[in-house]
Amino acid sequence: MASCKMQMILALCPFVMLVTIPATYGWGTDGHSIICKIAQSRLSNAAADAVKQLLPKWVEDDLAAVCSWADRVKFRYRWSSPLHFINTPEICSYRYSNEDGVADRCVAGAINNYTSQLLTYNSASNEAQYNLTESLLFLSHLMGDVHQPLHVGFAADKGGNTIDVHWYKRKAVLHHVWDTNMIETAEERFYDSNVDSMVDAIQHNITGEWAKEVKRWESCSLNKTACPDIYASEGIKAACDWAYKGVEQKSVLEDDYFLSRLPVVHRRLAQGGVRLAATLNRIFG
Ligand SMILES: *[C@@H]1O[C@H](CO)[C@@H](O)[C@H](O)[C@H]1NC(C)=O
Ligand SMILES: *[C@@H]1O[C@H](CO)[C@@H](O)[C@H](O)[C@H]1NC(C)=O
Ligand SMILES: *[C@@H]1O[C@H](CO)[C@@H](O)[C@H](O)[C@H]1NC(C)=O
Ligand SMILES: *[C@@H]1O[C@H](CO)[C@@H](O)[C@H](O)[C@H]1NC(C)=O
């Protein structure tokens, strides 16, 4: 049951969540769907072809349709629960450590894990070892989770799961506000309750406003195939600067909070999609 190693300024993956919080869904279904839609539209021919081969036939080449599969199997695959997040001490920085060599059971370790599995796609040696359909579905989902700021949150409040707030008039926990409420409120208020319009608006900025930054989002240090540590470091910073900031138990979160944080949500969804595509493009060539 060991988790990623904890060290002075870092800690990862407590297994307590397994017992105490049965469901800590990543971005809700819409968040994940948005990320997978953005990603699939940016795949190279080789990656698009590999994804098509690996996806279950019934989804008809629609990655977004199974982007939340990893949440749905959490109960069947109990071991996979801690792979959705990283919990840190109450310090706004993150450094990966796995000194003991214990399995890297957190979202950063899992992204590396599923990336290396998918790298065997073209080698016959894989056959019996991994189910690469599952590897693809895990990677696509976890790349979204690592971009949800409170999936790299404080252990003390379980990534905002123990912070009770009001989202406008409704009761919620802070974690859920970031998984779901902000995206849903944005869809209702700005996108005609249409998730595709939100995808279009984000895509518009990816190819326009943010085009220069997008190049940087895509790149990965030292020729690595996946760079989850970078995304996790940004995540805890966004959690401190935006998600936790100004929030206490019983805070009422309304327009002030929503409108100032929505750009962060848009950007994290964009980064998740861009980086999922970049990673799959590196994997499949
Ligand atoms: C790596 O993937 C395999 C296959 O899904 C899984 O059994 C294992 O727990 C994963 N380990 C990590 C650290 O993600
Ligand atoms: C691989 O995993 C998928 C999803 O769990 C499953 O539907 C499929 O049957 C698996 N394939 C093999 C060969 O076990
Ligand atoms: C796109 O960028 C503009 C200009 O910065 C901003 O006003 C708008 O909210 C952004 N839209 C999205 C979906 O990110
Ligand atoms: C990264 O890849 C490029 C091109 O393949 C190579 O020239 C360079 O030496 C590599 N850098 C490192 C640090 O491995």
Q: Which atom of ligand 4 is nearest to the CA of 222?
A: 13
pLDDT at position 104 is 80
- Interval 111-134 mean pLDDT: 87
pLDDT at position 24 is 43
Give the pLDDT confidence of 6-50 residue by residue, as tens digits.
333 333 344 333 333 334 456 789 999 999 999 999 999 999 999
- Interval 120-142 mean pLDDT: 88
Token digits for 31?
């968040």
Q: At what angle do helices 228-238 and 255-284 cross, to 10 degrees?
A: 180
Residue 265 half-sphere exposure toward CB, CA atoms < 13 A:
27
On the question of pLDDT at 103 being above 50, the answer is: yes
On the question of pLDDT at 141 being above 50, the answer is: yes
Q: Which of 126-130, 171-175, 279-283 has the lowest mean pLDDT?
A: 126-130
Q: How far is the CA of 21 from the centre of ligand 1 (A)?
A: 21
Q: Which residues of 41-63 are buried (b: 16+ CB within 10 A; e: fewer)?
A: ebbeeebbebbeebbeeeeeeeb
Residue 187: closest CA among 268, 270, 262: 262
Q: Whose CA is nearest to atom 4 of ligand 4?
A: 223
Token digits for 155?
């252990």
Residue 4 lies in a domain: no
List 164's β-bridge partners, or say none: 173
pLDDT at position 42 is 98
Q: Whose CA is nearest to atom 1 of ligand 2?
A: 131
Q: Which atom of ligand 4 is nearest to the CA of 223?
A: 1
- Interval 100-127 mean pLDDT: 82
On the question of pLDDT at 123 being above 60, the answer is: yes
pLDDT at position 126 is 60
Q: Whose CA is nearest to atom 2 of ligand 4?
A: 223
Residue 2 lies in a domain: no
Mean pLDDT of the chain: 89
Residue 239 lies in a domain: yes
Residue 181 lies in a domain: yes
Pick left, alpha or beta for residue 192 (phi over 0 → left; psi -120 to 50 → alpha; otherwise beta).
left
Q: Is the pTM of this model over 0.85?
A: yes
Q: Domain with 61 in it: what CATH number?
A: 1.10.575.10
pLDDT at position 101 is 47
Q: Which atom of ligand 1 is nearest to the CA of 110?
A: 14
Any atom of ligand 2 within 6 Å of the Cβ of 59: no
Residue 182 lies in a domain: yes
pLDDT at position 249 is 98
Instruction: Give the count of domains, the chain.
Output: 1
Show the domain range for 99: 16-284
Judged by its nearest atom, the ligand closest to the C-alpha of residue 66 is 2
- What is the distance between the alpha carbons of residues 264 and 281, in angstroms, rounded to a whole number? 25
Give the pLDDT confidence of 213-271 residue by residue, as tens digits.
999 999 998 789 999 999 999 999 999 999 999 999 999 999 999 999 999 999 999 99
Please answer whether residues 100 and 12 qualify as being in contact, where contact means their C-beta atoms are separated by less than 8 angstroms. Answer: no
pLDDT at position 21 is 39
Determine how many CB atoms are found less than 10 A away from the CB of residue 87.
26
On the question of pLDDT at 154 being above 60, the answer is: yes
pLDDT at position 15 is 36
Q: Whose CA is nearest to atom 4 of ligand 2?
A: 134
pLDDT band (50, 70, 90) for residue 91: confident
pLDDT band (50, 70, 90) for residue 3: very low
On the question of pLDDT at 274 being above 50, the answer is: yes
